[in-house]
Amino acid sequence: MGIKIPLLKAVSLGYERDMVTFSIKYGSLPNFYATAVIDTGCPFCIISESTIQKTRINYKDKPVHHKQVWLGGILFELRCLGECEIFFRDNQNTPVPFKQDIYVGIPLSLKKGTILSQQIPCFVGKDFLDKNFLSIIRSKDGNTYLQEID
């Protein structure tokens, strides 16, 4: 049986979206936790600046991966944290680990501290879904999963 990760129906930026809770292990620091929008239109896995600010990670020293990335009308700079270990909870209630390149999205077109810049969510992007053969599957029972497809 392949990987099957239950998704949450939750509101982010004003609309209900497919979201997931996950844990990120960066270097020797303890895991930190976040909720992300599953977005097949987003090429990368992005941690929001407000989420990374919960940790002691000095993300501003990390190399810039893309200098100008537009997302929903907001200009971002993506800084690369490198490969991290991320964990999801599957439908058997077991933590499932993955290795994944993670980027931090820093809004550039918004004044720091503005209301919108503080509400940008994290994204689990297409790179992760493609690499692990995962698709969003809507079950007839009303639940939604990230599921491994043969």
d(CA 103, CA 83): 9
Quote the Cα angle for 65-66-70, to 5°: 145
- The answer to whether 31 touches 24, Cβ cutoff 8 Å, is yes
Q: Which is nearer to another protein, 35 or 132 (CB)?
A: 35
As measured in angstroms, the least distance from the Cβ of 77 to another protein is 17
Q: Which is nearer to another protein, 37 or 81 (CB)?
A: 37
Q: Which is nearer to another protein, 92 or 149 (CB)?
A: 92
Q: Which is nearer to another protein, 87 or 127 (CB)?
A: 87
Q: Which is nearer to another protein, 39 or 134 (CB)?
A: 39
As measured in angstroms, the least distance from the Cβ of 78 to another protein is 15
**Residues interacting with another protein, by CB under 8 A?**
8, 10-11, 13-15, 21-23, 30-33, 35, 37, 39, 41-42, 50, 53-55, 71-73, 87-89, 93-95, 113, 115-116, 118-119
- DSSP β-bridge partners for residue 101: 83
As measured in angstroms, the least distance from the Cβ of 15 to another protein is 6
For CA atoms 138, 135, 97, 76, the dihedral sign is negative
As measured in angstroms, the least distance from the Cβ of 150 to another protein is 26
SS3 for 48?
Answer: strand
Distance, C-alpha 144 to centroid of its chain: 17
SS3 for 93?
Answer: coil
Using DSSP bridges, classify how beta strands 15-25 and 4-6 pair: parallel, antiparallel or unpaired: unpaired
As measured in angstroms, the least distance from the Cβ of 96 to another protein is 10
